[in-house]
Structure 1
């Protein structure tokens, strides 16, 4: 990296990528009427949960809503 550059901003490339992929997958699903037709090209449910920090949320929920603590 050059000396004066510390960050890069990819303004709208991410959302444009998502829209293109979504349109392609919806075309495929409509044509095939088969959910498995896109399965190899999409993120796993586990990956979505990981990105959301679902494990941490579940731990917090168990702690905050533990009925034995009342």
Structure 2
């Protein structure tokens, strides 16, 4: 098994861990009245999803 295959398999649970942490962080901020922190959390979650999709594209859909 190559290193790239191991990376592909290991990447999914790591991403799920980050996405669950980000969702928990955002819902924790929603319970507080400060809406600016909630907006920052949503922007950070959006950046996380965008970066992850770009990495998925590079790993899984790059035919060299």
TM-score (ref. length: structure 2): 0.45
Greater RCO structure (CA 8 Å; 6+ sep): 2
TM-score (ref. length: structure 1): 0.42
Higher helix share: 2
